[in-house]
Each structure stands twice: as C-alpha cells, then as structure tokens.
Copies of this chain bind each other. A is one copy, B any other.
Amino acid sequence: MIVVMRFGSGDEEIAKVVERIEVAGLKAHLSQGAERVIIGVLGQTFPELRDMLETLPGVDEVIPVSKPYKLCSREFHPQDTIVQVGDIAIGGDEIVVMAGPCAVENEQQLLETARAVKAAGATILRGGAFKPSTSPYHFRGLGKQGLELLAQIKKETGLPIITEVMSLRDVDMVASYADIIQIGTRNMQNFSLLEEVGKAGKPVLLKRGISATVQEWLLAAEYILSQGNQQLMLCERGIRTFETYTRNTMDISAIPIIEKVSHLPIIADPSHGTGKWYLVPPLALAAIAAGADGLIIEVHPNPDSALKDGPQSLTFNNFDQLMSQLKPVAAAVGRRLATPPLKVKS
C-alpha cells in the first residue's frame, strides 16, 4: 500500500500517517519525490487500512499494490483449474458447448431442443426453471416443475444440465437436480447466495455482473471459492455501455484477461452478450478465437413463440450451422470441440 501525500503537506501530517501505520503493526517507508512525499506501507496490510489512511489530513491518495483477490488468482494457483462434469472436462483442451432454451416451457419444447443441440454437437443442456425478470409481470419460469423436466430430459438424452438458482431458499433443491449451478448477472453480488452456492457441492458457473469490473467479478468468485468449492467457472455475458444497438456490449477482452490473471475456466454467452440472434454466431466464433473454454447459447424450436428471449435464440438450423463453423475456428487456435455423450447414462 502506498500513501501519496498532497503537494505541500506538512511534517505533522506526515507524522500522523506514519503513526497510524505503526499502530497497525506495520512499517512506514518515506520517499521525498520531486513534488510530494510518498509513504510505502511495509508488512501484511488489511483492507480497512486504505480507507483509514485516505481519511487523514494531507493525504492525496492511497494506492493498494496487492491484488485484493487470492484464491482465484493465477499468482497463487498457477495451474489451470479443470471443472469436471461427468466425463466432460471444462478448462482443458476441449471446448464445451452448452445449449438449450432460455426458459423451460414444456416437455416437448425441451426434449426437441435437447435432441437437436445434442445432434449438432452440444454436450451440456441449458434451460431455466427460475427466470429473473426485470418486470414482475413477465414470465418467471416453471420453478420446480421445470427442474423435473430437466431431470427427465437428462435421463433421455444423457446431457448434463446447467440451470440458474436465484434464491437462497432454492439452492438445495436446484443443487439436487443440476450438474452445474448458474449464478446470473443480477446476483453476482448477492453475497449470501454466493456463499450458499459455495457450500452446495456442485460445479458453479458465475456470470459477470452487468456493470461489474473484472476485479469485482473475481472478488465475487472469491466468495464461492472461500467456501471450499473449487469447481467454479466464470462466464462473460456482456456489460452495460451507452450503445443501444445491442442489448449489452460483449467484452471479448475479458476472456484473455481472465486467462491471464486467474486459473478458472472462462465461458462466453453471446446470446445475452448481444441480444440479437444474428450476432450470436460471429461473437461465438470471436470468443473461441480469443481463447474461451466454452460457450453457452440459447436455442429454441420456434424463437418467435418463445416465452423468453426469442430475439436472441437460434433456431435448430442456425445452431447446427454455427457448430460447423466452430470446428475449424477451434482447430485454428489449437483446440477441438468436446463431443456429446454417445449414449444415455442412467
């Protein structure tokens, strides 16, 4: 931690800063710059110290130099984390595609979609039973019935399931059905939910908050990891900017950044990241070219009658075409698509 004193700060002010650092059991290290005094804090600092020093008279700025996250950091855990979902390894050489409808609507919709995405090469089935909705008057998912449909279709197709949990109360129930628990963008800083999910004993996919910095996202991951759950992957799904053509602005640079600073796998969600189905394929290809470990994509038998997010859903045809385009791009960056389970598991 470095304390930058204001231009013209006096000896008394400097002495007070040094005193507070020493009271905290740390050492102060003064440098006289051309215009200002700079005070290095030596020893193991603690987060509250920053605010305490920043408030002292004569202090211009306090700059932390340690990263605030540890468990998710590559500095402290250099090898890649592999998240294991049955036979599927996420975060290794293979690229994993999760696909399915935004919301589970009924058995037929889910079964048809599951078969179609599996045939096209998806290895994990996505589908929402609990759906966050900006308005209380919109469709909010089938709830428990949706989870049961997912379980049934999993049995029929062999595809593992990823589904979202939105409420503390539902964590155990969702964990008992899901192979991967998803935390949505609106809950990235729902800290009690993060901790509960960290204890649920299932792999977790943590979406980036709609206006979260990379650092805040990693700190949210830290909440889950610190509960002992290491089977965690991150998901870039677009951030909020001034642009109104797209629903969100997909931050493709977050993919190589996460790869650099963290050991956790990184998945891309071009469906929410763009909000328009015709932008999904180019952004899916871009994400893979930039190093993503997987994709999560919305597919619907009839996007124009979907109860949720039709405009960003691919038809079976469009999804099939995308999967064919993905293969050579994956190969071009030295990777390959994971293959779907050959037969139904029971």
Contact pattern, A 44-67, Cβ under 8 Å of B = 1, otherwise 0 = 110110011111100001010110
How far is it, in angstroms, between the C-alpha of A199 and the C-alpha of B280 when the chains are bound? Answer: 38
User: Do B305 and A52 touch across chains, with their CB atoms under 8 A apart?
Assistant: yes
For A243, list chain B residues within 8 Å (CB).
Answer: 213-214, 239, 251
User: Do B289 and A54 touch across chains, with their CB atoms under 8 A apart?
Assistant: no
For A329, list chain B residues within 8 Å (CB).
Answer: 289, 329, 332-333
Q: Which of A1-32 contact B (CB under 8 A)?
A: 2, 4, 6-8, 20, 29, 31-32
Binds B, one of A88-96, A119-127, A174-182, A185-193: A185-193
Q: Is A132 an interface residue (CB 8 A)?
A: yes
How far is it, in angstroms, between the C-alpha of A320 and the C-alpha of B163 when the chains are bound? Answer: 43
Considering the complex, give the chain B residue whose CB is closest to the CB of A187: B190
Contact pattern, A 122-151, Cβ under 8 Å of B = 1, otherwise 0 = 000000000011111111100000000000
User: Do B191 and A166 touch across chains, with their CB atoms under 8 A apart?
Assistant: yes
Closest chain-B Cβ to A86's Cβ sits at a distance in Å of: 29
For A228, list chain B residues within 8 Å (CB).
Answer: none
For A54, list chain B residues within 8 Å (CB).
Answer: 310-311
Binds B, one of A110-118, A152-160, A219-227: A219-227
Considering the complex, give the chain B residue whose CB is closest to the CB of A198: B136
For A63, list chain B residues within 8 Å (CB).
Answer: 2, 63
User: Do A66 and B35 touch across chains, with their CB atoms under 8 A apart?
Assistant: yes
Number of copies: 4
For A189, list chain B residues within 8 Å (CB).
Answer: 132, 134, 186
Closest chain-B Cβ to A5's Cβ sits at a distance in Å of: 9
For A222, list chain B residues within 8 Å (CB).
Answer: 135-137
Q: Knowing A29-B31, A282-B289, A332-B329 touch, does A240 contact B211 (C-beta < 8 A)?
A: yes
How far is it, in angstroms, between the C-alpha of A166 and the C-alpha of B273 when the chains are bound? Answer: 28
How far is it, in angstroms, between the C-alpha of A333 and the C-alpha of B138 when the chains are bound? Answer: 39
User: Do A48 and B253 touch across chains, with their CB atoms under 8 A apart?
Assistant: no
Q: Is A168 an interface residue (CB 8 A)?
A: yes
For A41, list chain B residues within 8 Å (CB).
Answer: 33
Q: Is A233 an interface residue (CB 8 A)?
A: no
For A187, list chain B residues within 8 Å (CB).
Answer: 190
User: Do B288 and A289 touch across chains, with their CB atoms under 8 A apart?
Assistant: yes
User: Do B279 and A253 touch across chains, with their CB atoms under 8 A apart?
Assistant: yes
User: Do A31 and B20 touch across chains, with their CB atoms under 8 A apart?
Assistant: no
For A190, list chain B residues within 8 Å (CB).
Answer: 186-187, 190
Contact pattern, A 312-346, Cβ under 8 Å of B = 1, otherwise 0 = 01000000000001001101110000000000000
Closest chain-B Cβ to A38's Cβ sits at a distance in Å of: 6
For A45, list chain B residues within 8 Å (CB).
Answer: 34
Closest chain-B Cβ to A72's Cβ sits at a distance in Å of: 11
Q: Is A252 an interface residue (CB 8 A)?
A: yes
How far is it, in angstroms, between the C-alpha of A277 and the C-alpha of B253 when the chains are bound? Answer: 12
Q: Knowing A33-B65, A52-B304, A285-B289 touch, does A132 contact B309 (C-beta < 8 A)?
A: no
How far is it, in angstroms, between the C-alpha of A285 and the C-alpha of B132 when the chains are bound? Answer: 34
How far is it, in angstroms, between the C-alpha of A283 and the C-alpha of B226 when the chains are bound? Answer: 32
7 contacts between A and B (CB under 8 A): A8-B75, A33-B65, A48-B139, A52-B310, A55-B310, A169-B192, A331-B332
Given A52-B306, A187-B190, output 8 extra A-B contacts at Cβ < 8 Å.
A38-B65, A40-B40, A53-B304, A132-B191, A133-B191, A134-B219, A239-B242, A256-B279
